[in-house]
Amino acid sequence: MTASKPLVGVIGGVGPQATAYFLDMVVRLTDAARDQDHLDMVVLDHASIPDRTDFILGRSTEDPGPVMADDARRLAAFGADLLVLPCNTAHHFVEQIEAAVDVPLVNIVDETVAEVARRVPGLRATGLLATSGTVHAGVYQRALAAVGADCVLPDEAGQAALMRIIYEQVKAGRPVDLPALTGIVADLRERGAQAVVLGCTELSVAAADHRLLEADRALVDSLDVLARRTIERAGARVRG
């Protein structure tokens, strides 16, 4: 690729539907008047990558880290100038991925926390809706602490309901229990969250399908943030 047109490499398939929604977001959010104004991208939709949450929680011995690191090498060999990984839980393994290549990675966790801090001056507390793997890994807790904010998590029942939404509904292609999801958001707000992060890209799928971001400006969708930052890092403009 020419220096003026970076090639974006997508480590995808985690999960497949979230990857498809990410690509659609990038296209829709790019300020483009013709085909040539859009990003050049190569997508490795590697759906058979071992489950990230199962490994983090010790329910599986299949380590997805080396698999994703190898995918990063494959994309780098193809000529990718920057990498994106549209999965929050997978960012537990980001050090392995970054150590495998010299290509920079747009970090969905760091970019999302930066967006929350931008939207909420004097940020003190942010709610997090994420897989149990992401919660256990602590990637958002550390990023929020770095900007001086606490992380408000669902209670045990709320987290269990959230995992059902992610795994048994969105990933399984079944209808989403929207009242349960909005109820968890409301609970985090009542407990002091000034904003609530959709820190799982399956929840981003649900938000897009039900237009949740239009109805609630305090929701910050990590996949939407990643799409916008990818466009900017690739040298294009985000549609106003």
Burial class of 73 by CB neighbour count within 10 A (0 to 12, 13 to 18, 19+): middle
pLDDT confidence of residue 1: 43
pLDDT in tens, 150-180: 999 999 999 999 999 999 999 999 999 999 9
pLDDT in tens, 93-112: 999 999 999 999 999 999 99
Rounded Cα–Cα distance for residues 240 and 233 (Å): 17
Catalytic residues, which ones?
87, 200
Rounded Cα–Cα distance for residues 124 and 194 (Å): 7
pLDDT band for 217, please (50, 70, 90 cuts).
confident
Instruction: Flag whether pLDDT at 81 surpasses 50.
Output: yes
Q: CATH topology of 7-107+226-233 equal to that of 109-222?
A: yes
pLDDT confidence of residue 240: 84
Residue position matching structure tokens 């890092």: 233
pLDDT in tens, 14-46: 999 999 999 999 999 999 999 999 999 999 999
pLDDT in tens, 227-239: 999 999 999 999 9
Output the pTM of the full model.
0.95
For the chain, the average pLDDT equals 96
Instruction: Flag whether pLDDT at 2 surpasses 80.
Output: no
Considering the four listed CATH numbers 3.30.50.10, 3.90.25.10, 3.40.50.1860, 3.40.50.720, the one that applies to the domain covering 7-107+226-233 is 3.40.50.1860
pLDDT confidence of residue 236: 97
How is the chain split into domains, by residue range?
7-107+226-233, 109-222
Rounded Cα–Cα distance for residues 151 and 191 (Å): 11
- The stretches of the chain forming alpha helices (DSSP H) are 16-29, 52-56, 64-78, 94-100, 108-119, 132-137, 139-146, 156-163, 178-190, 201-210, 212-215, 222-233
